[in-house]
Structure 1
């Protein structure tokens, strides 16, 4: 189902987008398609940002830190007044769920593209929202909804509820200000950390505690309501693939729900929306246990990050509908008109290094080439992004780079499409989670739908260290690399004028070393294809039009379509495929013999140093010089991209010297302290 933008005139003359990055670009696209003039705001750091270039007009509002620009309400209001914007879309985050902002706009006669301030008040406070939900007949999680004064009271409450518990910021969102505690010590530490994060991110340090449901699924309902009493739910989204309460992969619909549960959740979500007089797009989040019992978590009174998957299975442009609802238009459809079509997957591409514990990464995008977006009856690829090649990922903002989405008629084909799209996504210059996303897509439990919110922690308990590809895949990669090496040599021969007549008669021989295995192969090239013969007599045909200098090799290897990220190295290639990062050597037989005699270079010993794992600011140091520390004991806390990261001792040690103090800004691998 689709909604036509040509049926009505533009509901507003101008729309200011009070946000940045991919969501600002997303809103601008829909608004411009509706014939609305778009106005961007930006910080000093975002002068050359994509959303600024996309908008019809742009206004600089302050320095790089969000607190002095995007969430400085007075600066944003001044930009609105100076530009004469008729309406404002807040996106998500920043001021999107600030009722004071909505009221300030109303006072100035500017339309807020979102719910009424009263609904934001009620649902934005997680303590109050649970009480309202219970009164509206919505199933809720057991917990303590009152304010908690200190860590000892938090411990007392946690004991009464029963461990494990979830410690959460009342004004929280995006996984910030949230901790799981399994005992008293974790409750104390989690309370203090959540309180600090909440104050830093939201300016509100109120904390509450609720029962943590073991092995839950995180499933949310998208609602859409207008000012004429109409409210519909647009199916559900499964958001169970999370890390540190931050969503990584989302899909719609959920592979777990049946129609009866979907209907019950949707009706309760709409009942809650009606109870608070909700208008616009909103999301009611639930946790669902193994028996499909569901419990209300919170209501997000804004557009969700993962809204594209709902758009892909319903054909409804949520941003357009938000704008039309804000212009007092009725919804153009009723509940019976909502049909779910096919399956959609969203992978969040983050500037974080999975090989370093998913710690934030900043820097310049030296290469940024997303897969080609397209729409067909069999497949859709969509990439919502707010960056471009040459742009900089800053420590001041959220680490999300893009949201890669795929659609297909069923879940298996949607996952296959996502795997191919990830294979073709080129990103260089910073640490990123593309390899991890590929690993999730290939995981048997994910493909079967057997997932829950602890999936990542359960399947990668020691962290992510790459993917071990199956042996047959490695053989195909060996055949591919031998072929690529031969193409490289042909190019060099043409340049130098060398012709190897012996090779033309008997074929080119190589030894390919990949993932600890050696493969002796012989190549015979034909028209548009190369036959690669292994020592055991098996032959793989490699077809493709790769040329030296191309970063992607799109090949058909032994009948299997394959996309490889290729970077030439001395005597071989760096090859990346399906989450694996491989150093592939391609030698002559004599080179392989000599290489086996070369000693491996040893890395520097850093076992007695605590190095800063990411760029950030030291929040506090928990130890002093001369102090003995135990394994697992907190050493210091570093904040990066609005998230606190506690660095702990890996074993029993004595602190010899401190190199950093609270308030210091550190770079990656800068020494924080030394040990004896």
Structure 2
């Protein structure tokens, strides 16, 4: 077995590989850019090597720098993680020439299946059903439009060397095909160093289901069941689960056998993933093969008990698989939620900055389920503009799908993140969405259910009453604390009244609080009683409560006259007042936000790539005004209405913060 492995990656996947290597007694080497010198993966590894400036094309994807790090540390093998150099045949070549093992497939398989155009041609030749499209090289935007017209809209414009949602656009007309081609080409060049683009038919209402395969160099190949990855935004997976709630055993077996046959056709070894789109009638079509470890591999590990990273290391060491297809079972259900540094209230635009608070739920048993959190960050760390915005993968396991979902709800409510915009509220909303709960999902789920973006969660009456009751009980604890500090009376409980008004989400509840040693009984004006128990202490940011015997986890912050409470995706200002205070509060005028309707504000920290208009230009609704790049993604900002450009405050190359004014209109 190898003595030392170098991980040619960063973030959560580098940390993930280090954990398996440590379990196997193998020493690890981390590489890091200047932006990552204090990163978690650097701290976890036995050794760490600095490889350059923050941009990936000057550090993490520079083969010579990785090879020098290998030479300097004496590493015998390299695990590439995903992204960066994981599917680069030149890197595999360099390792082979240096006599260093690549913990991944052979170069030939990478070239055959890692390239999206080549893989589709090979799949078609092998009799695998593929989506109609044009697999040749597309020279310019005019040719892209012509090909799109021939295929028939809608079409998917994709980077040949792409992955992770980068370099992908859906076009519904000629204008979108033209714009999408150029943006995809630019993103592909900056992310992968390869700007080749292909176009295929976009199948509406598809499900994205993928098969995990595992092969060794002795002719053995397995399929480790499927993962459903249909909850996507901008072609980037957000929620994954295993198994799929849609597949039946016959379809699962057919997809698995086809995936293994395809892998064997290219002499594949190591872990890999064959992705399919599946229509409503369970017809499946080959999409692509990822010749690497997938981001969502933890859900497969949770339902099979197989450590995929360990298997990859053993295969790279020349070992035969110790398991057979009959050993692969489905034990329970697993769900993964990707925690992104992005603001769901600003159309999911990237967010950067310092994590002033980062407290994931404790890993291990939670209720009847299990929690796992794969992460690469820590409290006080910096979320950089240079890399992917994913900061953690929160996974839960349950005996059933409903149990896994409930465990995920409680885990999300327990996950504390402050200092940056993040998508925890949105993930909570998805977990409570009737369509997701029923399993009736497709890759269009987010676009269909949130067509105008995410504007937060509006809680139902029952949940509002639970939170109102909990807030009333917490307020009593806080009032007792204040009485003790002020030293008003020896019998402090006499200084705390029983009659209160709780206002939240536009509703107001008059309640009576009857306390005892273990908790409080909250009686509403209509006679409804709710029992609240818990050990919350004023100042604690997390409250684990029991409401009528049901668990309720609240993130708690202090505001004037009450609490900021976040739960199940809702962000609430909860005011707890005496009856007289509530009466006076109703007379207070509401503060109106400032008028920014005649300004184009930068929606996220980023770099202006191009300006499409000049001062004095008349613009139409929907017209492209400028392009802002952040976290390797290009975002086109468009006019919301007709107008005339009065003033332009920034130009190409300028770095802007959130809400910086790019231009003003008359």
Q: TM-score, normalised by structure 2?
A: 0.98
Q: For the Cα contact (< 8 Å) 1:14–1:38, is it kept in 2?
A: yes
Aligned to 1:195: 185
State how far apart, in whole Å, the 2-side matches of 1:279 and 1:535 are.
67
Aligned to 1:534: 524
Q: Which moved more, 1:373-382 or 1:32-41?
A: 373-382
Offset from partner CA, 1:308-361 (integer Å, 9 cap, x none): 000001100000000000001000011122111110000000000000100000
Give the secondary-structure state (helix, strand or coil) at the position aligned to 2:625: strand
Aligned to 1:398: 388
Summarize the Cα distance change of 1:583–1:514 in structure 2 as closer, same or farther, 3 Å threshold: same
Q: For the Cα contact (< 8 Å) 1:507–1:524, is it kept in 2?
A: no
Which of residues 327, 337, 345 in structure 1 aligns to 2:317? 327
Give the secondary-structure state (helix, strand or coil) at the position aligned to 2:564: strand
Give the secondary-structure state (helix, strand or coil) at the position aligned to 1:415: helix
Aligned to 1:19: 9
State how far apart, in whole Å, the 2-side matches of 1:68 and 1:502 are.
64
1:59 Cα deviation from its structure 2 partner:
0.8
Which of residues 287, 299, 319 in structure 1 aligns to 2:289? 299
The reply on whether 1:124 has 2:114 as its aligned counterpart is: yes
Gap runs ≥5 in structure 2: none
Give the secondary-structure state (helix, strand or coil) at the position aligned to 1:521: strand
Q: Which moved more, 1:594-603 or 1:607-616?
A: 594-603
Offset from partner CA, 1:153-183 (integer Å, 9 cap, x none): 1111111111111111111111111111111
Give the secondary-structure state (helix, strand or coil) at the position aligned to 2:336: strand
Offset from partner CA, 1:112-166 (integer Å, 9 cap, x none): 1000011111112111110111122221111111111111111111111111111
State how far apart, in whole Å, the 1-side matches of 2:18 and 2:211 are.
25
Give the secondary-structure state (helix, strand or coil) at the position aligned to 1:547: coil
The reply on whether 1:454 has 2:444 as its aligned counterpart is: yes
Give the secondary-structure state (helix, strand or coil) at the position aligned to 1:492: helix
State how far apart, in whole Å, the 2-side matches of 1:574 and 1:376 are.
25
Give the secondary-structure state (helix, strand or coil) at the position aligned to 2:260: helix
Offset from partner CA, 1:624-673 (integer Å, 9 cap, x none): 11111111111111010000111111111111111111111111111111
Aligned to 1:622: 612
Aligned to 1:598: 588
Which of residues 515, 526, 530 in structure 2 aligns to 1:525? 515
Q: For the Cα contact (< 8 Å) 1:136–1:271, is it kept in 2?
A: no
Offset from partner CA, 1:354-392 (integer Å, 9 cap, x none): 001000000111111100111489421100001110001
Aligned to 2:202: 212
State how far apart, in whole Å, the 2-side matches of 1:667 and 1:342 are.
45
The reply on whether 1:567 has 2:557 as its aligned counterpart is: yes
Summarize the Cα distance change of 1:508–1:299 in structure 2 as closer, same or farther, 3 Å threshold: same
Q: Which moved more, 1:152-161 or 1:424-433?
A: 152-161
Aligned to 1:474: 464
Aligned to 1:260: 250
Aligned to 1:6: none
1:559 Cα deviation from its structure 2 partner:
2.4
Give the secondary-structure state (helix, strand or coil) at the position aligned to 1:603: coil
Aligned to 1:282: 272
State how far apart, in whole Å, the 2-side matches of 1:130 and 1:552 are.
50
State how far apart, in whole Å, the 2-side matches of 1:335 and 1:397 are.
38
1:506 Cα deviation from its structure 2 partner:
9.9
The reply on whether 1:34 has 2:6 as its aligned counterpart is: no
1:532 Cα deviation from its structure 2 partner:
1.2
Summarize the Cα distance change of 1:290–1:644 in structure 2 as closer, same or farther, 3 Å threshold: same
Aligned to 2:103: 113
Summarize the Cα distance change of 1:141–1:616 in structure 2 as closer, same or farther, 3 Å threshold: same
Q: For the Cα contact (< 8 Å) 1:365–1:391, is it kept in 2?
A: yes
Summarize the Cα distance change of 1:143–1:517 in structure 2 as closer, same or farther, 3 Å threshold: same
Summarize the Cα distance change of 1:502–1:534 in structure 2 as closer, same or farther, 3 Å threshold: farther
Give the secondary-structure state (helix, strand or coil) at the position aligned to 1:96: coil
Counterparts of residues 211-250 of structure 1 (less than 5 Å): 211-250=201-240
Aligned to 2:540: 550
Give the secondary-structure state (helix, strand or coil) at the position aligned to 2:513: strand
State how far apart, in whole Å, the 2-side matches of 1:237 and 1:441 are.
17
State how far apart, in whole Å, the 1-side matches of 2:282 and 2:440 are.
13
Q: For the Cα contact (< 8 Å) 1:137–1:268, is it kept in 2?
A: no
Aligned to 2:399: 409
Which of residues 135, 140, 159 in structure 2 aligns to 1:150? 140
